Amino acid sequence: MSEMTGRVFVDVDWLEKRPEVVLIHVGTTMGGGDPVAAFEARHLDGARFASLDDDLADLPDGVRGRHPLPTPERFMDVLGRIGVSDDSVIVAYDERNGALAARLVWMLRILDFDARLLDVDPDDIPERSGAGSMCVTEHLSGSGPELAARSWPAAALATADEVAAHIDAGGVVIDSREALRYRGGVEPIDPVAGHVPGAINRFFGDNLVDGAFRSIDELRDRFSVVAGDSDAIVYCGSGVTACHNALAIEQAGLGRPRVYVGSWSGWSADPGRPIA
């Protein structure tokens, strides 16, 4: 097993020993506020900026969900702007214990880039002022290596029809949202509450304990249900936090599950889909 395959989550000590790493801070407009301003105010030394909404997703599109994948060409343009090359080692983080950055790391890994998710306490991200934050302008408007487009691999993705077929065949499909949303007790974002019938619940936030990622053994126990299913599928609300679970499963040595990017936002937008 290569290091890239076996080591998905890394800590600050690992990062500090590798000055050549391209470090990326992922921000979002979800929850309100200006993610660029937030980055300017607080980020790790040497970090570059990527937007979940503008860089890691296409516009919301019905059954494609709230955060469909961008075209491969646009994603390569984003990576070039940030300064990623074909042989870069990339580490991503955010201020939400990896909830957003996992999407970028998953996207990169399925395209065979060497990418990892940083285990960092948001309270340890230093505040910046003045010249300490000027680098953001370069990363938002600059240009870097020209990368050839790499098509999204079908084997890493699942469609709604494939989700339904996998469940019908007795396969494992994991809903990564909070238990209350999974049960349909509340739905703060999408117009319909509930979950895909037959899906089981593993809240992505429980990959952490006291703000840090669980050990490999703990993650292996947590996701033991996928051990016998090489085609397991994960989803969430819009294909973002599902990537946190996908990376946790890979970190545990249980293979790489498929991600249903449309997720609940796409499933519930189709009136022909059943809802539990």
Domains defined along the chain, listed by start: 3-152 (3.40.250.10), 155-267 (3.40.250.10)
* pTM to 2 decimal places: 0.93
Q: pLDDT (tens digit, 9 = 90+) per residue, 157-192?
A: 999 999 999 999 999 999 999 999 999 999 999 999
* DSSP β-ladder status, 212-213 and 208-209: antiparallel
pLDDT range class, residue 69, cuts 50, 70, 90? very high
Q: With 70 as the cut, is the pLDDT of residue 133 above it?
A: no
What's the mean pLDDT in 122-150?
67
Q: Does residue 135 have an active-site annotation?
A: no
Who's near 213: CB < 8 A, 6+ residues apart? Answer: 9, 98, 119, 207, 219, 248, 251
Residue that wins the pLDDT comparison between 138 and 181: 181
- 61 class by beta-carbon count within 10 Å (0-12 exposed, 13-18 middle, 19+ buried): middle
Point out the catalytic residue in the list 172, 236, 248, 261.
236
Amino acid (one-letter) located at 229: D
Who's near 228: CB < 8 A, 6+ residues apart? Answer: none
pLDDT-above-90 percentage for the chain: 82
Rounded Cα gap, residues 24 and 43, in angstroms: 9
Q: With 80 as the cut, is the pLDDT of residue 19 above it?
A: yes
